[in-house]
Amino acid sequence: MSIPVDDVTVPDRVRELAGSAALTPVWENGIGGLTFRTDDGRFLKWGPRHREATMRTEAERMRWAHAWTLVPQVLDQGEDRTHEWLVTASIPGRSAVDPHWIARPEIAVRAVGSALRRLHGALPSDECPWSWSVEDRIANAAERGIVVPERLHAAPPIDRLVVCHGDACVPNTLLDGAGRGIAHVDLGALGTADRWADIAVASMSTEWNYGPGYEDLLIEAYGVDPDRERLAYYRDLWDAT
């Protein structure tokens, strides 16, 4: 995802959902999806339907996770023939890629790593109704016409089964003013999987957002030693699916 650098056209549905509230665009993704912040404490997420994950399933996951960890409260969710939308209550805090934290990468990276460990510890894998397993990810990719290389069909043995975030890239962690990770957003792929599926992507994303040299710092903050085999495998799977 990337922060919009130019003015964006506000979709009619978003304008309708906003009512009298003022809108500020905060995110734009690669498939034309937009996220807006309102001045009355909401986030409005709107975009085209996509088979990898839907806003309806994201709303279901957030409602479930809300019992154990801080995630956005779902206020509304809907869809029409071509697009879908999700309205959530805002959470005090800044994304780990807010300019304030981009200027303080070591603090942000450590916060993201420790927050991911807490998320994995908080969500009960034996009660989670969704899977983000290798098999399910490959099957989902096939439904979208993506052929995953055969070498990726054989995953390393599971180190620890947890409820993974499913898109643990650093922008999806919110930090408080003291630099502590306090909440997670964008939970559309949440499900059970090896914890390294999240660790691999979270650590890899530090280079995209802060530059080289922070991958192992995030893993250290998570509280484990780097597992190079699993890191390589789950990063390749991420790129392939």
Percent of the chain past pLDDT 70, that is, above it, reads 98
| Residue 129 and residue 79 share a domain | no
CATH of the domain at 72: 3.30.200.20
Tens digits of residue pLDDT in 203-228: 999 999 999 999 999 999 999 999 99
CATH of the domain at 133: 3.90.1200.10
Provide mean pLDDT across the span 144-156: 96
- Look at residue 181 in the predicted model and tell me its pLDDT: 97
Which one from 6, 40, 136, 167 is the annotated catalytic residue? Answer: 167
Tens digits of residue pLDDT in 96-127: 999 999 999 999 999 999 999 999 999 999 99
Binding residues for Mg(2+): 172, 186
Above 60 in pLDDT, residue 5?
no
**Boundary (domain end) residue, out of 89, 122, 157:** 89
| Residue 68 and residue 144 share a domain | no
- Look at residue 26 in the predicted model and tell me its pLDDT: 87
CB distance 200 to 99 below 8 Å: no
**Boundary (domain end) residue, out of 45, 69, 89:** 89
- Look at residue 6 in the predicted model and tell me its pLDDT: 59
| Residue 98 and residue 83 share a domain | no
| Residue 116 and residue 81 share a domain | no
| Residue 143 and residue 41 share a domain | no
**Rounded Cα gap, residues 70 and 234, in angstroms:** 26
Q: Quick one: pLDDT band at residue 50, thresholds 50, 70, 90?
A: confident
pTM listed for this prediction: 0.92
| Residue 201 and residue 122 share a domain | yes
| Residue 111 and residue 34 share a domain | no
| Residue 231 and residue 185 share a domain | yes
Least Cα distance to 34 among 12, 51, 19, 57 occurs for 12
Above 90 in pLDDT, residue 12?
yes
Structural domain harbouring 98: 94-240
Q: Quick one: pLDDT band at residue 3, thresholds 50, 70, 90?
A: low
Assess whether 76 carries a catalytic annotation: no
- Is 233 part of any domain? yes
**Boundary (domain end) residue, out of 64, 89, 114:** 89
Q: Quick one: pLDDT band at residue 30, thresholds 50, 70, 90?
A: confident
- Look at residue 1 in the predicted model and tell me its pLDDT: 44
As a whole number, the mean pLDDT across the chain is: 94
Binding residues: 172, 186
| Residue 196 and residue 119 share a domain | yes
Above 70 in pLDDT, residue 4?
no
Tens digits of residue pLDDT in 159-217: 999 999 999 999 999 999 999 999 999 999 999 999 999 999 999 999 999 999 999 99
| Residue 98 and residue 44 share a domain | no
